[in-house]
Amino acid sequence: MSQQVTAPVLPPPTPTRRKPLFSLDNRYIAPAFITCILLTGHLTFGILESYWKTLLAIVTSILLELALGQIFYRKWIHPASAYITGISVGILVRSPAYWPYALCSALSITSKYVLRVKGRHIWNPSNFGISAMLFLAPETVASLSIQWGNYLLPMLVIWALGSAIIWRLRRFHITGIYVASFIAFAFLRSWMTGSPWQSEIAPITGPMYQLFIFFMITDPKTTVRSKRGQCLVVFLIALLEMIMRLDQIVYAPFYALFIVGPIAILVEIWMDSRRANAAQLTVTQ
Amino acid sequence: MTGNRVAKGFLVLFFVALLATPLVMKRVSGGRGSDRAKVDAKTALARHGFYLEEVSHAAGINFVHHSPKLDSKLDPIMPEVASMGASVSIVDFDRDGWPDIYVTNSAIGSKNALYRNMHDGTFKDVASEMGIADVNQQGTGVSMGAVWGDFDNDGYEDLFLIKWGRPELFHNDHGHSFTRVTEQAGLPSWINANTAIWFDYDGDGLLDLFVGGYYSEDIDLWHLTTTRIMPESFEYAKNGGRKYLFHNLGNGKFEEVSGKVGIDSRRWALAAAAADLRGTGHPDLFIANDYGVAELYFNDGKRFHEVGEKTGVGFIPKSGMNAAFGDILNQGRYAVYVSNISEDGILIQGNNLWVPKEGTAGDTIQYQNLARDFGVELGGWSFGGQFGDLNNDGTLDLYLTNGYISLDRNRSYWYDFSKVAGGNSTIIGDAKNWPAFEGRSLSGYQSKRVWLNDGAGKFVDVAQAVGATDTYDGRSVALVDLWNRGVLDVVVANQNGPLLVYKNTVAPENQWIEFELEGTTSNRSAIGARVTLFWNGQQQVQEVSGGCGFASENDRRLHFGLGKNAQIQKAVIRWPSGKVQTIEKPAVNQLHKIKEAA
């Protein structure tokens, strides 16, 4: 979730085009959006356990990013990405204790610097952090699955706003394919298990998924580059999630992304490497 | 990455250390917070100062609770929607000086029981002959709890029966029988409630009655016209039952005044309790709500003002199921214990221990949740909890029962529960959208908690060590000195399970004192009377309650443990009328019967 939303996804403006009255650098769109979600959720429903825990997650995330950036790149890394990681941790982690918030942020940011292959970090940072916490500290940590209003209007607003932003960032196809796959698989699960279809659809109407589909699975740094590949990968995430759901795994989406995401990146790296070798061979010949 | 190898090495080590941190934290907190070793009674007595022995059968109590069976439209999720109703309340209904036990049953046709204390260690069910057994008849709903209060000040405790259905008020006819006076009293024909308390909110010397609705009162759970009866949200629901405040008019009639005095809520109330939290002389009202935030109503003697958010107790929504007050630090101030749900890896709400913040008092009092710091946070799917000094060491301990639905040990409903609970209100609010239970458990077979207070801000769970080893689906807990021995015994009502009586044996060197209060100007039950005991340079405050915990009522007599070599300076009684009575140097190890001075 600590995506670098500064990816050059938009064409540069032509010199003849007039500058719009209101414009926002792409790198600030995602942080602004997630801040809106946080504030709306908290001011209307009080979703945060405490301001301090969320602040702790954000501060830990940013400070660690700045420190590691200095140590390993000798530069100050723009904090937008770390901010998103921190705020995501602050929203998604639910624990009565303080330390899981700091630890989850630290794990998320550090994973970007440790778990790298050919210069790319292969896990979405906050997905890694949250999955690790859920796996390693289940007696202290849960994730946000229910602690948000179950009402229609906030959901529609967030979905509409999120879709518009993701569209602008040219990553709506990822979200779209995932949602379509989830719904199709929900009906399939309902048919297979006999559960009401509404109960299978229910999770995606909740807040956890709003963060998952708009931030995690669309992270430019940890998704493959080709559009077709992105569609395939996100479909596979939904497929694995469905299988996990049949096994009644509560945090199936996190774990599915945790497994499929890095594999997809590794496959892409391998294919890039093969292509590079082939190209080099051609040049040599 | 351009960093050198050393930096990379340190980074990897740092990363591994981060991954190992949860295991370290688990080990640290696991070793500190509990004594899980099962030991013999002698060792428990030496180590913890008491032990509990389950003696229900020996005491002649063989009561088993049965859940209601509601409309067949709810069959797929019947274990969940019919998961409450087991309750226990303590009363000396015949004024013989020995506490009796009233327990509720919840299946249509099942009978409640009133266990008369036979003074010889045994009890006898006299509910049928007293006329308060057969109260779960077809068409009238079923029992969810009971609270006792002498509403007509004739000296005998009367019974209000909390029901999903027709609430009932029984007048106690001098301990010989009970007369149903529901209609005369002017009570409504149907309320789906799980909590009620007696308290004199306006200080007129007559007990008033608060009733907190759970399901909406327009729902007959046996004849549903719709399956849209569930909460609209797991933590923000406001479509539950209404609240009632029945003002006692003094002629056997009550007037419903909730709206008039500022109580207007449709949250899903599960537990209510009243105590004077600000020292104003007026009882404030705390309501623990399922599917939402708690509510705290300050009482100015005429009107109530909801201050949950302002005081800090009503901001984070959880699944409140208990409300109990205790002066846990012997500072003359009450903490409030609210139980919630914690299930490893799925939902860690944590229970709340609301402790007044340093430097705040009166109308500006603020609370902070110190459950984690004190070690009383995680108790599984927690229900009833009560404060009481179980080992007579001079500090209040905490007994917590828990466990929601114990069916198939190997299959859990949690996945389906979490799936639907997170869904949109149109999904969660309709019972037909909930997957079938199919015999699965939901936080079942849980170990209970008996948290011993060290007096310095830490509680240690000793349940297994002292003999509280049952794993039934506990609901309601009442503390009472059943056999007038100067110790608090524990009675636990379990859903679909037996009533348990834990007889307490306490190290004899620890001393105690008890007070039995009777109002004259104040209500005769003395509900709301407050005793502050000063001994050995410390003080502890306790208040006579008309119902607290979850669907329960403790013994009306106040029990103080004193520790060793107690030198009591005085006991100061503040009656609901405002009168203050001081007992100088009351003797230890005895019950003091005190009547309000004229």
CB < 8 Å to A201, chain B: 423, 427
Q: What is the ipTM of this complex?
A: 0.84
Nearest to B158 by CA among B584, B462, B546, B596: B546
pLDDT digits (tens, 9 = 90+) for B543-561: 999 999 999 999 999 999 9
CA B264 and chain centroid, separation = 22
- Contact status of B344 with chain A (Cβ, < 8 Å): yes
Kindly report the nearest CA distance between residue B30 and chain A, in angstroms.
11
- Give residue A144's pLDDT: 62
Which of B346, B434, B443, B447 to probe by mutation at the A interface, max A CB count within 10 Å?
A: B346
**Are B350 and A96 in contact (CB < 8 Å)?**
yes
- Cβ-count burial B551-581 (b if 16+ within 10 Å, e if not): bbbbbbbbbbbbbeebebeebbbbbbbebeb
* Per-residue 3-state assignment (H helix, E strand, C coil) for A239-262: HHHHHHHHCCCCCHHHHHHHHHHH
Q: Are B410 and B416 in contact (CB under 8 A)?
A: no
Euclidean distance between CA atoms A184 and A200, whole angstroms: 10
pLDDT digits (tens, 9 = 90+) for A42-52: 776 666 667 78
Kindly report the nearest CA distance between residue A129 and chain B, in angstroms.
10
B114 DSSP β-pair partners: B102
DSSP character for B135? -
Kindly report the nearest CA distance between residue A13 and chain B, in angstroms.
32
The DSSP element (H or E) to which B533 belongs, if any, is strand B530-535
Lowest-confidence pick of A113-122, B469-478, B489-498: A113-122
Total-model pTM: 0.92
- Give residue A16's pLDDT: 46
pLDDT digits (tens, 9 = 90+) for B499-509: 999 999 999 99
Half-sphere exposure (Cβ direction) of B198: Cα atoms closer than 13 Å:
33
pLDDT digits (tens, 9 = 90+) for A52-99: 888 999 999 999 999 999 998 889 999 988 998 998 898 888 888 899
pLDDT digits (tens, 9 = 90+) for B64-95: 999 999 999 999 999 999 999 999 999 999 99
CB < 8 Å to A111, chain B: 15
CB < 8 Å to A105, chain B: none
**Residues B295-314, mean pLDDT to the nearest whole number:** 96
Which of A91, A250, A251, A254 to probe by mutation at the B interface, max B CB count within 10 Å?
A: A250
Residue B2 phi/psi, 5-degree rounding, is: -110, 0
pLDDT digits (tens, 9 = 90+) for B91-127: 999 999 999 999 999 999 999 999 999 999 999 999 9
pLDDT digits (tens, 9 = 90+) for B377-416: 999 999 999 999 999 999 999 999 999 999 999 999 999 9
pLDDT digits (tens, 9 = 90+) for B450-467: 999 998 889 999 999 999
Euclidean distance between CA atoms A74 and B459, whole angstroms: 49
Phi-psi region of A89 (alpha: psi -120 to 50; beta: other; left: phi over 0): alpha
Q: How far is CA B479 from CA A29, B204, B502, B503, in A?
A: 58, 29, 10, 11
Euclidean distance between CA atoms A225 and A157, whole angstroms: 29
Q: Are A132 and B43 in contact (CB under 8 A)?
A: no
**Residues B6-35, mean pLDDT to the nearest whole number:** 84
SS3 B171: strand
Res. B291: pLDDT tops 70:
yes
Q: Are B307 and B297 in contact (CB under 8 A)?
A: yes
SS3 B306: strand
> For A142, which of B235, B347, B428 is closest by C-beta distance?
B347
pLDDT digits (tens, 9 = 90+) for B322-336: 999 999 999 999 999
- Contact status of B411 with chain A (Cβ, < 8 Å): no
